[in-house]
Amino acid sequence: MNSQPKLRILLTRHEIEGTITRLAGELNRDYQGKHPLLLGVLKGSFMFMADLIRRLDFPLEVEFIRLASYGRGRESSGRIKVVQGLRAPIRGRDVLVIEDIVDTGRTTSFLLDYLRRKRSASVKLCALTDKPSRRQVPVTIDYLGCTVPDKFIVGYGLDWDEKFRYLPDICFVEFED
Which of 30, 103, 161, 169 is catalytic? The answer is: 103
**Residue 159 sits in the site that holds ligand 5GP (CB under 6 A):** yes
Residue 106 binding target from Mg ion, ligand 5GP, none, CB below 5 to 8 Å by type: ligand 5GP
**Residue 157 sits in the site that holds ligand 5GP (CB under 6 A):** no
For residue 151, whether the previous peptide bond is cis, meaning omega lies within 30 degrees of 0, is no
What residues between 41 and 100 interact with ligand 5GP by CB under 6 A?
A: 44, 76, 100
Residue 153 binding target from ligand 5GP, Mg ion, none, CB below 5 to 8 Å by type: ligand 5GP
C-alpha dist (Å) from residue 23 to 81, 105, 151: 29, 20, 23
Considering only 11, 24, 27, 41, the residue that binds Mg ion (CB under 5 A) is 41
C-alpha dist (Å) from residue 13 to 107, 108, 147, 167: 26, 25, 16, 9
By CB atoms closer than 10 A (0-12, 13-18, 19+), residue 148 is buried
- CB closer to ligand 5GP, 94 vs 100: 100
Q: Are 68 and 22 in contact (CB under 8 A)?
A: no
- CB closer to ligand 5GP, 31 vs 103: 103
Pairing of strands 61-69, 37-42: parallel
| Number of chain residues interacting with ligand 5GP (CB under 6 A) | 17
DSSP state of 22: H
List of residues contacting Mg ion (CB under 5 A): 41, 44, 100
List of residues contacting ligand 5GP (CB under 6 A): 44, 76, 100-108, 152-154, 158-160
Which residues are catalytically annotated? 103
